[in-house]
Structure 1
Amino acid sequence: MAELDNLLSQEELDALTAGLQDGSIEADTGLNSDVSVMRHDLTNEDSSLGVNIGAIDMINERFIRQFRLGLLEVLRTTPKVSMADVQIMKFNEYVKDLSAPLSVNTIRLNPLRGYSMAVIEPSIVFAALDNFFGGFGRGFDKLPPGRLFTPTESSIIKIMLDVLFGSLKEAWAPILAINCEHVSSEINPQFAQIADENDLVVVSRFVADLGRDVSGNIDLVYPYNSLKPIRDLLRSRVQTGDGDDVSDKEWSAELKSAAVDAELEITVELAQIETTLKKFEALSEGDVIYFSKSEYARMYVNSIPVFDADVGANGSQMAARVVKPLAPKK
Structure 2
Amino acid sequence: MADSTNLLSPEELDALAAGIEDGTIESDTGVNTGAAALKHDLTNEDSSLGVNVGAVDMINERFVRQFRHGLLEVLRTTPKINMANVKIIKFGDYLKDLKPPLAVNTIRLDPLRGYSLVVIDPSVVFASLDNFFGGFGRGMNALPPGRSFTPTETSIISIMLNVFFGALQEAWAPVMPIKCEHVSSEVNPQFAQIADQNDLVIFSRFESELSHDVTGNIDLVYPYSSLKPIREALASRVQTGDDDTGDQQWSNELHAAAADAEVPVRVTLAEVETTLSKFQSMSSGDVLFLKKADYARMYVNEIPVFEADIGSSGPHMAAKIVKAMEPEE
* TM-score interval, smaller chain: 0.5 to 0.7
Q: What amino acid sits opposite 1:37 in the alignment?
A: A
Partners of 1:185 and 1:2 in 2: how far apart? Answer: 61
Does the alignment pair 1:156 with 2:183? no
Partners of 1:100 and 1:42 in 2: how far apart? Answer: 33
Change (3 A) 1:2 1:171: closer
Q: Is the 8 A contact 2:121 2:217 kept in 1?
A: yes
CA deviations 1:152-192 (Å, max 9, x no partner) are 00000000000000000000000010000000000000000
Q: What amino acid sits opposite 1:154 in the alignment?
A: T
What is the CA-CA distance between 1:235 and the residue it aligns to? 1.1
Q: Secondary structure at the match of 1:168?
A: helix
CA RMSD, aligned part only? 2.4
What is the CA-CA distance between 1:242 and the residue it aligns to? 5.0
Change (3 A) 1:61 1:253: closer
After superposition, where does 1:22-41 map in structure 2 within 5 Å? 34-41=34-41
Q: Is the 8 A contact 2:67 2:163 kept in 1?
A: yes
Q: Is the 8 A contact 1:75 1:132 kept in 2?
A: yes
User: Where does the alignment leave 5 or more consecutive residues of structure 2 unmatched?
Assistant: 5-30, 257-329
After superposition, where does 1:105-254 map in structure 2 within 5 Å? 105-238=105-238, 242=243, 245=245, 248-251=247-250
What is the CA-CA distance between 1:135 and the residue it aligns to? 1.1
Partners of 2:60 and 2:2 in 1: how far apart? Answer: 73
What is the CA-CA distance between 1:33 and the residue it aligns to? 5.7
What is the CA-CA distance between 1:195 and the residue it aligns to? 0.6
Partners of 1:79 and 1:228 in 2: how far apart? Answer: 32
Match of 1:72 in 2: 72
Partners of 1:44 and 1:165 in 2: how far apart? Answer: 31
Partners of 1:254 and 1:136 in 2: how far apart? Answer: 23
Change (3 A) 1:35 1:70: same
Partners of 2:212 and 2:253 in 1: how far apart? Answer: 30
Q: Is the 8 A contact 1:50 1:235 kept in 2?
A: no
User: Where does the alignment leave 5 or more consecutive residues of structure 1 unmatched?
Assistant: 5-30, 258-330
CA deviations 1:85-128 (Å, max 9, x no partner) are 10001100000110100000000000000100100000100010
Change (3 A) 1:33 1:93: same
Match of 1:102 in 2: 102
CA deviations 1:259-307 (Å, max 9, x no partner) are xxxxxxxxxxxxxxxxxxxxxxxxxxxxxxxxxxxxxxxxxxxxxxxxx
Partners of 2:231 and 2:131 in 1: how far apart? Answer: 39
Q: Secondary structure at the match of 1:141?
A: coil
Partners of 1:254 and 1:116 in 2: how far apart? Answer: 29
Change (3 A) 1:81 1:237: same
Partners of 2:166 and 2:196 in 1: how far apart? Answer: 28
Q: What amino acid sits opposite 1:51 in the alignment?
A: V
Q: Is the 8 A contact 1:84 1:205 kept in 2?
A: yes
Q: Is the 8 A contact 2:101 2:148 kept in 1?
A: yes
Calculate the TM-score normalised by the size of structure 2: 0.65
Partners of 1:2 and 1:156 in 2: how far apart? Answer: 74
Q: Is the 8 A contact 1:174 1:240 kept in 2?
A: no
What is the CA-CA distance between 1:37 and the residue it aligns to? 3.1
Q: What amino acid sits opposite 2:199 in the alignment?
A: D
Q: Is the 8 A contact 1:101 1:147 kept in 2?
A: yes
Q: Is the 8 A contact 1:136 1:212 kept in 2?
A: no
What is the CA-CA distance between 1:237 and the residue it aligns to? 2.2
Q: What amino acid sits opposite 1:148 in the alignment?
A: S
Q: Is the 8 A contact 1:203 1:220 kept in 2?
A: yes
Partners of 1:204 and 1:120 in 2: how far apart? Answer: 12
- The alignment of Structure 1 onto Structure 2 pairs a total of residues equal to 229
Partners of 2:172 and 2:209 in 1: how far apart? Answer: 24
Identical amino acids, percent of aligned pairs: 69
